[in-house]
Structure 1
Amino acid sequence: MKMKKSAGLLCFVVSFTAALSACSSGHAGSVIPAASLPDAREVLPPPPVPGSAGQADDDQVFKATRDLRGSSRWMLAQHDALLDKATLLEDFSCAVGYKLDLKQAPHLKSFFDKVAPAIKERTSQVKHLWHRRRPFVGTDQPTCTTVADLGLYSSFPSGHTTAGYGMALVLASLLPEKAGPVLQRGRVFGESRIVCGVHWKSDVEAGYLNAASQMSVLLREPSLQEDLKAAQDELRAMAHTQPPVDAAQCQTERDAADHSLLSAP
């Protein structure tokens, strides 16, 4: 059981590294140490405890979102569960108005190569601290993605949300004229984890805060400024060379944004 627990709690290590790290970016530079980031165990509030109003809200949202199975929102959540690095960036194409291609952004890859290990370590520390069970544990309720590798007790905070909203914060910084729709898409990405049934609502909210606290430091880190400036040029160059976005996909994302799962019950 101990071995299974460790594997589950470290699932974020695999998923986040796969999403944001390139095996070889071609840009020299040291990774950012975890100690340079805020300790998320201090930053994040505790998750709701059993019997609390917060847990009752989490329970209600989990139950209500099971009815979304088979809907367009469910399908979007399934897509958002894919955390490979190229797909994660491409998920923000509708938000910026043109298809984003990681192959054309080597400096953006380099940035995430350097920061992913620190984010991974800080997030894993919180998961270990709270050891929170995922909402599907002990139920026969559907999830939109496989749960075999998620870890039954690694729910808080959401690592997918940390990755997705972290990407949103970077893109909003580099393309400030697109910040509104980019951050909206980052919110929807996090809410997809609630739709999937693999995270509680409060896990996702903690994921937003986790990403924000980390990026508040990383986007100002002097050693990363060269990559960030070059990444901005790469992203803007794509506006002149990349194909337009898919209208149907963009409408699905707008519908998801208009029906937020974070509203008060």
Structure 2
Amino acid sequence: MIKVPRFMCMIALTSAVMAGGLSQSSFAKTGNTEPKATYKFHSDPLLYLPPPPAAGSLQQAHDDQVFQTTRQLKGGPRWALATQDADTRLAAILNDYACAAGIKLEPGKLPLLAGVLKRALHTEYDDIGVTKNNWNRKRPFVGNDSPICTEKDREGLGKQGSYPSGHTTMGWTVALILAELMPDHAGSILQRGQIYGSSRIVCGAHWVSDVQAGYILASGEVAALHGDERFRHDLELAKKELDKARSSAGAPDDLQCKIEQAGR
């Protein structure tokens, strides 16, 4: 597992009490085509996100080193997990958190949970796009033939800004909301969220600093969402739904959990 510096994780956790961007259309292409209902409040990430590392800086050198090192993971269990985590359909993201939550998380059987997550993610899309377009950072694989875990997406990803990681922002947003709804599983859910973000590094789609910024952005977004009465109301309903479903939702797929464990 790629280690994200502890201080970055702590910043993200504390904040939660975050034509070249991950636009609404790019999310729709992954299968989420519902109306883009949003909440009232969102953050302004350009006020609090630091800029990406400058060329020639020590941080950029670290990004370069980690990218090169993680290319050696191709074909292994961690690479397989990173490939799985690249799917941003809501059903796929929830399935990624099922083992950590201890129950199956199926949108069709948990419509209130699915609803609050969809609306929360739709709320933050514009902010993801704004930040990506503001810095328009090139992806680590652009200009070279280094492997990435989703080769079919190479051309499209190469046209999108790399900073911050949109996948990480989405994954950490889901992790923060699930952790709030299932506090007895918060540790394992947040651990899975960290792994979900690290998958973008393993995949080769993002630099380490892109992923770190994604954690911060998601934390800022979720913190702002709590200012919306509708969001708080929806959270309450989703929690009741989840609590009721725990006895009947069934255990997560054992093979899936073994794949995750191997990938860690």
TM-score range, shorter chain: 0.7 to 0.9
Alignment partner, residue 10 of structure 2: none
Following superposition of structure 1 onto structure 2, how do residues 96-175 of structure 1 map, counting pairs within 5 Å? 96-145=101-150, 146-175=153-182
Are the counterparts in 2 of residues 16 and 160 from structure 1 also a CA contact under 8 Å?
Answer: no
State the distance in 1 between where 2:30 and 2:184 align: 25
Following superposition of structure 1 onto structure 2, how do residues 175-214 of structure 1 map, counting pairs within 5 Å? 175-214=182-221
State the distance in 2 between where 1:167 and 1:15 align: 18
If asked which structure has higher relative contact order (CA below 8 Å, sep 6+), I would say 2
Query: Aligned letter for 2:199?
Result: S
State the distance in 2 between where 1:52 and 1:93 align: 39
TM-score (normalizing by structure 1): 0.85
Query: What is the CA deviation profile of residues 148-170 of structure 1, one whole-angstrom value per residue up to 9, with x for unaligned ones?
Result: 32243510000000001100000
How much does 1:214 deviate?
0.5
Over the aligned positions, Cα root-mean-square deviation in angstroms equals 2.1
Query: Aligned letter for 1:59?
Result: D
TM-score (normalizing by structure 2): 0.85
How much does 1:110 deviate?
2.3
Are the counterparts in 2 of residues 40 and 122 from structure 1 also a CA contact under 8 Å?
Answer: yes
Are the counterparts in 1 of residues 165 and 210 from structure 2 also a CA contact under 8 Å?
Answer: yes
How much does 1:17 deviate?
5.2
Are the counterparts in 2 of residues 19 and 85 from structure 1 also a CA contact under 8 Å?
Answer: no
Compared with structure 1, are the counterparts of its residues 115 and 18 closer, same or farther at alpha carbon in structure 2 (3 Å cutoff)? Answer: farther
Are the counterparts in 2 of residues 160 and 193 from structure 1 also a CA contact under 8 Å?
Answer: yes
Query: Aligned letter for 1:41?
Result: L
Alignment partner, residue 3 of structure 1: none
State the distance in 2 between where 1:159 and 1:130 align: 14
| Structure 1 residue ranges without an equivalent (≥5) | 1-5, 258-265
State the distance in 1 between where 2:136 and 2:53 align: 12
Are the counterparts in 2 of residues 171 and 182 from structure 1 also a CA contact under 8 Å?
Answer: yes
| Structure 2 residue ranges without an equivalent (≥5) | 1-18
State the distance in 2 between where 1:128 and 1:53 align: 24
Number of aligned positions between the proteins = 244
State the distance in 1 between where 2:262 and 2:59 align: 26
Are the counterparts in 2 of residues 111 and 228 from structure 1 also a CA contact under 8 Å?
Answer: yes
Alignment partner, residue 49 of structure 1: 54
State the distance in 1 between where 2:101 and 2:75 align: 28
Compared with structure 1, are the counterparts of its residues 107 and 18 closer, same or farther at alpha carbon in structure 2 (3 Å cutoff)? Answer: farther
State the distance in 2 between where 1:81 and 1:41 align: 25
State the distance in 1 between where 2:158 and 2:42 align: 25
Compared with structure 1, are the counterparts of its residues 242 and 114 closer, same or farther at alpha carbon in structure 2 (3 Å cutoff)? Answer: closer
Are the counterparts in 1 of residues 23 and 126 from structure 2 also a CA contact under 8 Å?
Answer: no
Compared with structure 1, are the counterparts of its residues 246 and 109 closer, same or farther at alpha carbon in structure 2 (3 Å cutoff)? Answer: closer
